Structure formats: C-alpha cells, structure tokens
Structure 1
C-alpha cells in the first residue's frame, strides 16, 4: 500500500518519527497488545475463580496473534467500527471450547484502552531513554562552555554578557524538570481499564474489583480507583507532556538555527556531505535538524489541543471523541521521538565558534556593558541620574560609532566618579557575569 502521510512515507518517516517508536505503534504491536490483554484477563479471572483454570490455561496456550487473518480483521473492523470484536472472534476460534470464556465481562473499550496503555508504557520508556541521552549531551556541552562568554540577547538585541554554558544549562534545566514529570506521569497515568458495559463491572458481581486488580498486576499497570472510560485526563496529561518536551526541544532548535545564521555564525550543526544542501545554492548548509525540531514542536502543540478537545465526552461512553485519540497518540509519540533524536544529534555534534561569539560581543562598542556602568555610578549619583548619563553615552556611541569606554571617559562627571581604570574594567564583559557560573554549575552537577 502506498504511503500517504509523513509518518509512513519512505521519504519522510525517519524525519517525523523513529524506527523504535514506529515499532511500538504499528498494527502488529497493537494487535499483540490486544491479545496480551485478553490472555491476561483470562489469567486474572481464573485466579479469582470467575472462569475455570483449565480454560485460562488453554486460552494462554492457544491465542496467537500471528495466526490471525489480517484481511479478515481489516474487513470486519471496518464493518464493526472497532477492532476488538473481530480479534476476539478469531481468538475464540483458536481456543476451541475455552473460547467461550474469552473476553469475559469485558467491553471493547476496556481492551482497547488497556492495549493502548501497554503501548504508552513502552513508548514512554523509549522517551525516557531518549530524554536521558539528550540531557547527558547537554550536560557535557554546558560544562565544556561554562566560561565561554557570549552575548545574552533579549528581543533579539544584545542585553548583557552571559556564558554559552549558561544558555545551554537553561535548556537543560527544562528537560531535567520534564524528566521528573515523566516519572510522575508513568506512575500516575498508566492505568488498566476494566469496567464492563457501563463501567460498573455489573456482569462480574462481587468479583469485579478483584479481577481488575489482578489484571492490573498481570500487566504491570496501575489499578485505578474507578473506571475511566470517559475520564481521559491521564491520556491528556501524557500527550500534554509530550508536547511540552517537544516545545522545550523546539526552543533549543530555534536558538541553534538563529545562531547558525550567517550574521551570527556562532554555531553550526554537525555536518556530513550533502546535509542541508540546496538544489540551487552550492554554499548552503541549512540547519536541518533544528528545522525539524521546530516543526515537531508546532505539530505537537496541535496534538495536545486535539486531546483537550477529546476530553469532552458524553455520559458513560463517548460518541466520537474517543476515536480522536486513536490518531493523535501514535503521531504525538512519533513526533517527539523524532524531535529528541534530532536534538540529540545536533547537540552531540554541535560546532561552537568561541571566537565568533567574542567578536559578536564587541559589535556594539561595549554597549552590552551599559548596565554594569550604570550600577557602578548609582551609589554615588543615584540610580536615575546614573541611568540618564549612561543612556546619553550610549546614544553617542550609536550615533558616532565610537565605543562606550571612550564616551564615558570623555564625560567629566563619570570620569571623576569612576576613574579611567575602573571604566575600562567595567566595560570588560568577563567582569559582569553575575551568578551565571554558579547557576550553570548547579544544573550541570544536578542528579540526572
């Protein structure tokens, strides 16, 4: 079958996903998860005494997803509207007489939601591994450039001197917090689903909650307090976290792409022959990884929005919103897996031009040090007068193309208050880094 989206295209799929994440969400993986859920349910029910032990053993021995007729599944799923009943029919045929005990007391959404949770569990494990790898690369980069001075920029203008290590540590700090959120999400939101037709487990009488607890234990999922057929906050939180991680990666991608531009020239993505090439301009080395990371962040935002929309579900079983999740969840995980892979690639091989950083820092003739001078004058002159004097000096630098130290030394009040030697020292970016080193070190040395 010809591919029709970037997620299954042989051209684009590894730019909008990864092979490992596709393996978690492909058709076979989903069917395997459904079969695993059905077998686990039979095992749990036999343990509680709801179905015969012999039936559960035969179900476990007989159910084989590899033997399912995929074309029959496709046709029946389109007819039924859901894949579980078609799968259960074929599994029951595999199990002979014991097939009558398959899917006992369950409803379609129980099995689909639980299978989806098994996929989410595996996918979040991949995200955790990728996130840890990226954080390690950022930690190394921040440590290597903890004293590399560069221009801090606000509103795209030079603000104050910072270190490149500080900038990287800010990126890293967000991902460290996301790692904590990820651990909490895995503990809180990976829940088994088992409620029966309307969520009350009425068909199992007094044994329903025991079966649900055993099923959760069998599958390694959390046993929830109540059926969550129409309470989809857990899945919304999962996708929201994926979007947030993607947004933090997108911020890295946006910064790197800007700093790779010709006018900045402070960074360059790792290069391989042909990477980022233009079909018409032989000189081009476009920041392809950064661009993909930024694109993924934008697409992930829409996935989170769709999941929020799908939260509004009617009564005890939704009329439509549930189906939104089937499309959104796999695509959200694929996008983030690509984003993390691309970000790790660019950070691990990032080329840092320290000379260009220092040269760019001097582009404004020392204006980046205006606050330092103002704060040095303020104790003697008061903050407002100090601000006005330095502002006037900065204006002269901008108009004349001179430098800040020269203009300050030419002003009698400033020269008398500070002296030439202190003015020179105050105009040195290395003297005005505040707590950048300490903060960077605190992030670099934090427990990963």
Structure 2
C-alpha cells in the first residue's frame, strides 16, 4: 500500500505556500463550494417557483433545502472517489456522494445544471478569494518596503546603468523603483479581483434551455435565476452576459497575466538584491545557525532572493498554457482545457503566495539584535562611493564650465578622454580615480570652474532629489494603500525560508 512519503509531494504545498492558500485550492474546499452552489441553485429555483410535474405543487420544498444545508461540509472523499471510478465523471460522482447522505434531495440536486455550473463557478469564487489574499499580502510587502525606502532615503549609493557605475542615487530612492512596480501590480490584481464575474446558471451550452424548460418558457424567471444565484454566492450584479458551456477562458489568461506581472517585479527585485549581495552592499537576513554551503563554510548566499526568483520564473511559464487554452477552445467548449487548468490555476496562486511570503520575509525577518530584514552595509557602500566619486562629480563640473561660457560638447569630450585614460590606468594598476580631477583642473575648458566648491561637497550633494522623491512617492502612492489595507498590514504569516 502506498504511504504518504512514497509519492511526489508538490513543493508548493510542502515547502512554499501558506496553509490558507493551499487549503483554498484543496479538494475539501472545492467540493464544499460545489455543495454551496447546489444549495444556492435549489434555493433560487424554489424562490422563483419551479413546479413539480403536476404544474401546481413546488418541486423543491423547505425539507429539501434543510437537508442540503445539513450536509454542506461532510464530504466523504473516499466515497466520492469510488463513485468517480465507476462513473468516470467527477461532478456526477459528487452528486451521488451528496445523494448518499441526503437521499431525499437526489431529485432536486443539480436540477437544470451542467457540470460547469459547479466547476466554473467554484473556480471563479476561489480565484476571487485568492486574488484578495494576494492583494493583502502584497500591500504588506509594499508597506514594509516603503519603510525601508524612507529609512534609507538619504544614504548615497552608486547608481548603475548597464550595471556600470552611473550617477549617485540613494539606497531609499532605488527601493522606490522596486516599490513602484509592486504598486502597479497591486492595482492590476485589484482590477482583476474586482472585475471577476460569475458564470451563473447558463445551462449546458450557455443557452439556458434547461432552465427555460423548468420555468415553462418564462424568460424573465430564467434571467432572474441567473442573477439570484450570483447574488447568493456574493456576485450580485456581476454575471457573465454570455457563455458557452464554460465562461470564456480568456479570463483565466488575464488573471495569470496579472500574477505574471507580480512575478516579474519580484524577480527584478530579487535579482537586484543578489547583485547587491555580490557587491556586499546589502545582505538579506541570515540566521545564527544558517549554513551557506555544505563545502564552503564561509559563504553567505542570498538564498531567499534566489528562491523568490526561482518561483517567480515558474509563474512566468504558466500564462502561455492559459493562452493556449483560450486559443484552442472549440465552439462552445472542448474538454482539453480541464486537466491543464487543474494544474496552472492553483499552482499560479500557490507560487504567487509563496513569492510574497518570501518577499515579506526578506523585509521583516529578524536575524539578530541589531537589525531585521535587509541589512544595509553602510561602510561598504560609502567606500564604493568614495572610490568612484571623481567620476560622479564630472557632470556638475561640466555644468559649471558651461555656465562659465564653455561649449557643452567640447567640455564633454575633454571629460571623456581623461576619464577613459584614468580608467585604463586604474585597470592596469598604475593609477587611481583621484587623478581624474587633477587632470581636469589643468584643462583650459575648466579654468573658470571652482573645483574646491564642487568637489569639496559630500556625496549627499550629488544625489539630486532622491530623498524628496522618496518622501513624495510614499505620500502619494503608498499612503493610500496603507489606508485601504490598514486592517491587514503585517498580518501575512511569515515563511521560515
């Protein structure tokens, strides 16, 4: 007999995702949602007056509904599996399993419905809940990263373009670049969450023919049924206007694209952290007994950021499958969407949940008495700034020369030639960056420039509006998020990674 540890365990469940997200996509939650959908349909049909064959008495009674309500959660998975093995149909297996515990309801369960009434509507419910959880977790990440940005808004650091030293920025200003991506992701996740519609009660191919027959050609009652079931399941006024057997699979693709956007931002941030760790400027949390390498005991690897990037890359591979499903659905529906959707929809949510938990861990995990979360190594950053500061001040020197009457392009060429010459000497070990300023001082183009007034200033004078930009960004773009999610900030369960 197969034991639990004998078979593959999905790491998204066993290692990475939260229990809440894992349970949301688990079998019990799904099948309990199916039963609630069956109850909502039966209630709506009863309220709208579905009649028995005699055309006079109600087909669905209060006793039927009471029996259904009494068996919303007592799912016997083994019994349902036995039915499915015999019937080769998952929905009918659970119709029979429900009939086993609520025998008086057999005649009215799933009345007029197709399988997608429960499968599609349940997926939409779970996706909306999942998106809401991700929005709350992402808001906590944004809040924590904003606090990091404000704390380090004044700390000068080398900016990079092409991963080559460019002008100075600040540690906090760079963090706002990561922040803005996440803010955009939150807006997109909210848009997808708030825009999700309910498939409703559309019948076998979306024509509502079965419900029209139940209500004896009363079109208004069929329309009201669709709206009433949606209202009972929390989608009041938000029903797909038309469907085939399924709701359009384009919606799945749009949701996965939004999760992919989050993955892109997390991967970018994680990559930057890994590069900064290489430069020893910023370290991720590292615990007292943590081992960086089984062979190289001295190593301190950025394994959290690496894991975040890895899971983000996994998410980024999933939207192509969802897009393929959209493109290959035949007419009102073909079943080749089913198996792959069972994989890529839950796993996209589980992986996104894991990415956000790692992100929050990076920012808030306490690893020692003097710091928590990301560790900014100020002496290393200051040393790197000092080493390249002569290059950084050249733009200010150029502007001063232009104000004194020099031609901007001519001055630029002087700086270009001397800076490359100095760099060559630094690389061959015969010079230092300090030579650049002494060389420029000897040039006629700079004879009217007060070098001491410009180069004597500290690095803080060359970061532009970085501190102000941090403050403005947080006030304008983060504070509204903090207000909107005030009740949940910081409550996302941390992952020990």
Report the TM-score when normalising by structure 2: 0.83
Deviations 1:303-343 (A, max 9, x none): 11211111121100124024321110111111111110111
The aligned counterpart of 2:231 is: 217
> What is residue 168 of structure 2 aligned with on the other side?
161
Structure 2 vs 1, CA of residues 85 and 408 (structure 1 numbering), >3 Å: closer, same or farther?
same
Instruction: Name the stretch that deviates more: 342-351 or 95-104.
Output: 95-104
Does the alignment pair 1:374 with 2:398?
A: yes
Q: Give the drift of 1:187.
A: 1.3
CA distance in 2, matches of 1:117, 1:358: 51
Q: Secondary structure at the match of 1:320?
A: helix
Instruction: Give the distance between the partners of 2:409 and 2:86, measured in 1 at CA.
Output: 76
Q: Deviations over 1:390-444 (max 9, x none)?
A: 1012123213324232222122321x1312324415x753223223223211221
1:182-261 → structure 2 map (5 Å cutoff): 182-205=189-212, 206=219, 207-221=221-235, 222-227=238-243, 229=246, 231-261=248-278
Pairing of 1:272-291 with structure 2 (within 5 A): 272-291=287-306
The aligned counterpart of 2:375 is 351
Please give the alpha-carbon distance, in whole angstroms, between the structure 1 residues aligned to 2:89 and 2:197.
22
Q: Give the aligned partner of residue 338 of structure 1.
A: 354
Contact 1:23 1:29 in 2 (8 A): yes
1:412–1:8 Cα change, 3 Å: closer
State the distance in 1 between where 2:433 and 2:381 align. Answer: 20
Tell me how far 1:374 sits from its aligned partner: 2.9
Selected match of 1:406 from 432, 438, 441: 438
- Evaluate the alpha carbon distance shift between residue 184 and residue 407 of structure 1 in structure 2; reply closer, same or farther with a 3 A threshold: same
2:293 is paired with a residue whose SS is coil
Give per-residue Cα distances to partners, 1:162-213, cap 9 Å, x unaligned. 0111111111112122222222111112424432111111111123221111
Structure 1 residue 291: deviation in Å?
0.7
* Secondary structure of 1:101's aligned partner: coil
Q: Which runs of 5+ in 1 are unaligned?
A: none
> Is the 1:111–1:193 contact (alpha carbons within 8 Å) kept by the matching residues of 2?
no
Distance 1:62 1:423, change over 3 A: closer
- Deviation of residue 76 (structure 1)? 3.8
Q: CA deviation at 1:302?
A: 0.7
- Aligned residue number for residue 65 of structure 2: 57
Q: In structure 2, how many angstroms separate the alpha carbons of the residues matched to 1:350 and 1:161?
A: 21
Q: In the TM superposition, what is the alpha-carbon distance from 1:294 to its structure 2 partner?
A: 0.4
Name the structure 2 match of 1:444: 474
SS in 2 for 1:42: helix
For 1:55 and 1:202, the matched residues in 2 are separated by: 27
Question: Once the 2 structures are TM-superposed, how far is the Cα of residue 8 of structure 1 from its aligned partner?
Answer: 6.0
Contact persistence 2:291–2:297 (CA under 8 A): no
Give the 5 Å matches for 1:78-97.
80=87, 82-97=89-104
Point out the more displaced range, 273-282 or 242-251. Answer: 273-282
Distance 1:389 1:79, change over 3 A: farther
CA distance in structure 1 between the aligned counterparts of 2:342 and 2:473, rounded to whole angstroms: 38
- Distance in 2 of aligned mates of 1:137 and 1:363: 31
Deviation at 1:297, TM superposition (A): 1.3
Q: Is the 8 A contact 2:389 2:459 kept in 1?
A: no
The 3 A distance-change label for structure 1 pair 40 and 20 is same
Query: Which residue does 1:424 correspond to in 2?
Result: 455
In the alignment, the residues of structure 2 paired with residue 291 and residue 226 of structure 1 have an alpha-carbon distance, to the nearest angstrom, of: 44
Q: CA deviation at 1:33?
A: 1.4
Per-residue CA distance 1:37-75 (angstroms, 9 max, x = gap): 11121122222223524255234334344242x223224
1:120–1:190 CA contact under 8 A, matched in 2: no
For the 8 Å contact 2:154–2:170, the answer to whether it is kept is yes
Aligned partners of 2:63, 2:322: CA distance in 1, in Å? 39
Deviations, residues 97-145 of structure 1 (Å, cap 9, x unaligned): 3321111111111210111122212212221221111111011101101
Q: Provide the residue aligned with 2:124 in structure 1.
A: 117
2: CA distance, partners of 1:226 / 1:275: 55
Counterpart-to-counterpart distance in 2, 1:376 and 1:32: 72
Determine whether 1:66 maps to 2:74: yes
Q: Which whole-Å CA distance do the structure 2 matches of 1:375 and 1:309 have between them? A: 55
Ranges in structure 2 where 5+ consecutive residues have no aligned partner = 51-58, 213-218, 365-372, 426-431, 482-497
User: Is the 8 Å Cα contact of residues 43 and 56 (structure 1) preserved in structure 2?
Assistant: no
Residue of structure 1 in register with 2:113 after alignment: 106
Structure 2 equivalent of residue 26 of structure 1? 26
Which residue number in structure 2 is paired with residue 301 of structure 1? 316
Contact 2:281 2:381 in 1 (8 A): yes
- CA separation in 2, counterparts of 1:357 and 1:345? 23
CA contact (8 A) 1:230 1:318 kept: no
- 2 CA distance for matches of 1:77 and 1:268? 52
With normalisation by structure 1, the TM-score equals 0.92
C-alpha contact (below 8 Å) 2:390/2:433 kept by paired residues = no
Summarize deviations over 1:216-272 as a string: whole Å, max 9, x none.
1111123222226151222212111111112111111111111112xx111111121
| Distance in 1 of aligned mates of 2:462 and 2:84 | 66
User: Do the aligned residues in 2 keep the contact of 1:259 with 1:266 (CA within 8 Å)?
Assistant: yes
**Aligned residues: CA RMSD:** 2.1
